[in-house]
Amino acid sequence: MAVIDSYDLSIEVTVKEGDNSTQRGALLETLAKRVLVSLQYEHVTTDIRVTGCELDIVARDKQSTAQVIVECKAYRDRTISADVLTKMLGNLFVHGYSSAWLITTTNLGKDAKGVVDKFKEKSIDERQKLRVYGPKELIELLISTGQICSPETLPLPAALHALSARTLLLTDVGEYWAVTAVGGDSGVADTVMVFDAASGKAVASTALIQQLSERDSNLRSLRWISAEEELATSSLMAEGLRQELDSIAPVPVADDWSDYRPARPEDFVGRDEILADIVKFFEEIRASTSGTRLLAIKAPSGWGKSSFLVKLRSTCLNIRNRNKFFLYSVDCRTATSQRYPELALKRCFDEAIDSDFVTGEKNSSRITSAGQPFSDSSIQSILEQLRQQNKVIVLFFDQFEEITTKQELSDLFLQIKMLCAAVQSANENVLLGFSWKTDGSIPTDHPAYHVWHSFADHRREFDLPLFSKADTGKLLTGLSKELRQPIEPSLRRLLTEHCQGYPWLLKKLCVHVFQVLKTQPTRQRELLERALDIAALFQKDLSDLNATQVACLEKIALDSPADLFRISEQFGEETVSALTQRRLIVRNSGKLVVYWDIFRDYVLTKQIPAIPTRYMPVSSPASAKSVLESLTVRQQTQLSVLEQKLGLGVATIDNIARDLVMMGVCQYDRKNAKLKLVHRTEQETIAAGYRFLSSHSLLKRLVDQFGTGFRGISLAQIETSVSGAFDAHDYAGKTIRVIALRLVAWLLAYGILTMDADETLTHDTSKSVPASYDELRIDKRRRGTARIFTGGSPPARVLDVIRSMHGDGYTPVPTDKNSLYALIGLGIISTAVAPTFIEKPSKDKMEVWLASKVLGQPSIRATREVLRRNPSAPPLEVGNAIEALAKTKLSEATKRRYGSGLTVWVNWIHSLLLVKPT
């Protein structure tokens, strides 16, 4: 058998389309029975049921009468685990068989090899209790028993550039040797020639060849031939593969800072922790402490996945890592056939050789198939070098999800699945990586959906986060360096607020600023006049294009990746060149794509992606409302007028103006210190603010955690949830608490949240958008803290106001102020300006209804507790309890006032309801 050692031997059990693993296993069991009979075993039976399990085969040696059990595993996409062997040995000892055999079409995994090696150390009698026939051993056994011919005897045509791979095909129509070959100098298997396994004769029947080629096997994607004369046509296929191999392109890199293509390593900012985590994962592979050979970089569109891969490759090339890791990332948008995965792997190995990461002749690597990528001796040599030198090769598929848009590439995902299974099961120092867009949607019946999810438990995933404040600051510093002038603090803050941590948005805004200031450096303040409209910036990209250029761009967006030759033929080379010079399209190895998939979507739909709001207003709802009420529709108002009219400082007005701009309700002319409304009516203005808050990422976070329409959520829970959305390095705990309270205040003002009597919050999904400023639930006295009823007006006066509100045309008078604030504190009305009942009481049960509203207030409960302990407690003692409840410092006079007022309310409740403090 020495000659056989020179071949890469494998066995595949192939079945017809629609057959399942049972049919596959039955074919291997039939072969195993033939082997046992030839070895002088009798009473060979299958599917034997014993206590606790089912055995594949049981047979008895004719000479010794010893019984053996045989386990058959027709695996293709995974190795044999140690559990298979330990289960066999358990059955052996429990049921008293003399020996356990494993017949498998796949290799042993690392742990399974360890079990076999342990048995080899035992005595001869003990070693005989376990026999393992892997692909090579099984083939040698079949040859020695005369059931198949040796692969060295096959009459191969001289023109066939055969690889060392020899695959024994077990099918329902016979057993055959499949010999794979490469055509020309493609370096990738493209041809299969089939021989009868028993006689060794070449199969000449085209019908049988067709039948075999359609079965489920690792060789299915290759061209199957039946005669030597077909080699001429297969050479054409080899040339096509050579061209496709040449078209495989690495991830493109920007030429300069303002280029929209993936950022140059020196321009990349942030994600330091994830970079370190991935390098640590690579080190685990080198140290053989991880069995995972798949990884994924995940993030929504425009979050910098491609730029991250460019940076990761640069990290692998630095002086510390260049002799340990080799990373090659390919742009999947250049894929044209289902052979792309194995072609990309070949290119990766060839590049590793060209870079002197491993030794070998140029373009010498040969890939047999996606399911058997490491079987050829050329790859085995590379793997041996990686093991000996403790090195790791990583192949990354960037823009992987883009393939899902091409119907003609649907079979590619089967090849990806086979390649992933092979790499994972081989457990060599080779990794496969994928960048995956998390905001895309793939139908559940698409092959990509099943491929992606089938390996979820076998890959390491890394999620790219939004930019932190520090990351944003670094990129803005880079902008300043490129402009060779400092960015004004106001513009810097505006860009930070607008980008909201989204990398693509920050890059788009910065490139816009760069283009403006590069030619007109003095226009920094003009850029601060209004909210930066992303749709307008995208429209600006299209504004100076002629009709032909627009049509060409739309065609490229529709076909992306579009074929360069066809686009040039249809629209002309000048049009393509003009779009390339404007950097609206990118050429990559004969393919054309729009510079961003986000811009591509805009070209096709004229819509930018929904951007969850992350900006948090710094002003209070009450002060913002007062400014809105003072503005005149479509007319600008001087900020100095607002300052004088509202009694607010310059900085406060500036903060409010910036908030209203970010909410999309105002335009702010900073140069002339003027502010004006964007919308024509109060309702439209309020609706814009409502949309801003309803789409806020922090509200979405609360809904995701507590559910739509959540109830009974405390402020502490809100604060804890909100804190998870911020980087602890950027925000102190006290700052996060202020943000949480301010968020609650705004959501309460618009009725998106309501606060119950026990100070818990409810997500109100039933309320409509407020129609006027008066319907905003503003409590000026609350100042962003929890609402506390303080009994500022006695019950009789509050009842008078309630009765007055029952009539038509009620207009508040100054003496009603405290009573109205008390009603706001009770949640009965939302505003003291033009109060209306949130819940209207019945006239004949008004007092009982009011008492029931007051009785549940935390401040009333605290007062009743004080009076229970000391019925004659002075107001100051009650006030101290209220100070503790409010968690804020109160003056002694305030505590006396609160204590006196609340005592009056408690006594009124007791007299009305005839209850005592409990």
Digit-coded pLDDT (tens) for 56-88: 788 888 888 888 888 888 887 677 888 888 888
CATH number at residue 557: 1.10.10.10
Tokens standing for 12? 């595949």
**821: DSSP letter:** H
Q: Are residues 359 and 488 in the same domain?
A: no
Number of residues that this document lists for the chain: 918
CA distances 9 to 40, 152, 179, 181, 845, Å, are 26, 11, 10, 14, 92
Helix then strand count (H, E) for the chain reads: 34, 23
CA distances 466 to 721, 726, 837, Å, are 17, 10, 43
Q: Are residues 486 and 435 in the same domain?
A: no
Query: Given pLDDT bands bounded at 50, 70 and 90, which one contains residue 460?
Result: very high
* Separation of alpha carbons 305 and 199, rounded Å: 55
Q: Are residues 744 and 800 in the same domain?
A: no
Tell me the pLDDT tens digit for each residue of 586-604.
Answer: 887 778 888 877 788 888 8
Bridge partners (DSSP) of residue 761 are 713, 755
Residue at 904 is within a domain? yes
Q: Are residues 21 and 121 in the same domain?
A: yes
* Separation of alpha carbons 868 and 632, rounded Å: 55
| % of the chain residues with pLDDT over 90 | 14
Q: Are residues 650 and 762 in the same domain?
A: yes
Q: Cα 648 to the chain's mean position, in Å?
A: 45
Tell me the pLDDT tens digit for each residue of 644-685.
Answer: 888 888 888 888 888 888 888 888 877 788 888 888 888 888
Is pLDDT of 488 > 80?
no
Q: Are residues 597 and 707 in the same domain?
A: no
The C-alpha angle with vertex 94 and arms to 91 and 99, in degrees rounded to 5, equals 55
| % of the chain residues with pLDDT over 70 | 88
CA distances 312 to 386, 552, 913, Å, are 20, 34, 73
Label residue 386 exposed, middle or buried (CB < 10 Å: 0-12, 13-18, 19+). buried
| Beta-carbon contacts of residue 625 (< 8 Å; ≥ 6 apart) | 749, 773, 776, 778
Which of the listed residues 428, 446, 463 is the one where a domain comes to its end? 463
Q: Are strands 41-50 and 53-61 parallel, antiparallel or unpaired?
A: antiparallel
* Separation of alpha carbons 694 and 612, rounded Å: 9
Is pLDDT of 918 > 80?
no
Phi-psi region of 535 (alpha: psi -120 to 50; beta: other; left: phi over 0): alpha
Query: Given pLDDT bands bounded at 50, 70 and 90, which one contains residue 531?
Result: very low
Would you say 878 and 902 are in contact if contact means Cβ atoms under 8 Å apart?
yes
Q: Are residues 577 and 688 in the same domain?
A: no
Would you say 470 and 431 are in contact if contact means Cβ atoms under 8 Å apart?
no
Residue 548 half-sphere exposure toward CB, CA atoms < 13 A:
12
Query: Given pLDDT bands bounded at 50, 70 and 90, which one contains residue 894?
Result: confident
Residue at 228 is within a domain? yes
Q: Are residues 41 and 169 in the same domain?
A: no
Q: Which of 711, 709, 713, 718 is nearest to 766 (CA)?
A: 709
Q: What mean pLDDT is predicted for residues 547-573?
A: 89
Tell me the pLDDT tens digit for each residue of 685-733.
Answer: 898 888 888 888 888 888 888 888 888 888 888 888 887 777 666 666 6
CATH number at residue 337: 3.40.50.300
Residue at 36 is within a domain? yes
Mark 625-656 as b/e (b = at least 16 C-beta within 10 Å): bbbbeebeeeebbebeebbeebebeeebbbbb
Residue at 918 is within a domain? no
* Separation of alpha carbons 771 and 661, rounded Å: 20
Q: For the chain, how many structural domains are there in total?
A: 7
Q: Are residues 809 and 764 in the same domain?
A: no
* Separation of alpha carbons 415 and 435, rounded Å: 17
Q: Are residues 293 and 397 in the same domain?
A: yes
Residue type at 230 in one-letter notation: E
Mark 11-37 as b/e (b = at least 16 C-beta within 10 Å): bbbbbeeeeeeeebbbbbbebbbebbe
pLDDT, residue 916, reads 46
Residue given tokens 């590069």 in the structure block: 518
* Separation of alpha carbons 234 and 286, rounded Å: 40
Range of the domain at 305: 265-463
Tokens standing for 612? 């969850």
Residue at 104 is within a domain? yes
Mark 666-695 as b/e (b = at least 16 C-beta within 10 Å): bbbbbeebbbebbbeebeebbbbbbebbee
Residue given tokens 């590793």 in the structure block: 352
CA distances 783 to 118, 516, 625, 886, 891, Å, are 74, 41, 14, 12, 17
Is pLDDT of 354 > 70?
yes
Q: Are residues 272 and 203 in the same domain?
A: no
Query: Given pLDDT bands bounded at 50, 70 and 90, which one contains residue 432?
Result: very high
Residue at 744 is within a domain? yes
Residue given tokens 């055969």 in the structure block: 162
Residue at 360 is within a domain? yes
Residue 478 half-sphere exposure toward CB, CA atoms < 13 A:
21
Give backbone dihedrals phi and psi of 167, rounded to 5 degrees, phi first.
-115, 125
* Separation of alpha carbons 234 and 237, rounded Å: 5
Tell me the pLDDT tens digit for each residue of 758-801.
Answer: 567 888 877 678 888 877 877 544 443 445 788 888 989 988 88
pLDDT, residue 47, reads 59
Residue given tokens 């079979």 in the structure block: 411
Q: pTM surpassing 0.75?
A: no
pLDDT, residue 422, reads 87
Q: Are residues 272 and 401 in the same domain?
A: yes
* Separation of alpha carbons 395 and 348, rounded Å: 6
Residue at 259 is within a domain? no
Q: Is 177 helix (H, G, I), strand (E, B) or coil?
A: strand
Tell me the pLDDT tens digit for each residue of 229-281.
Answer: 566 555 555 566 777 777 788 888 888 888 888 888 998 888 889 999 999 99
Other residues' Cβ atoms within 10 Å of the Cβ of residue 49: 8
Q: Is 317 helix (H, G, I), strand (E, B) or coil?
A: helix
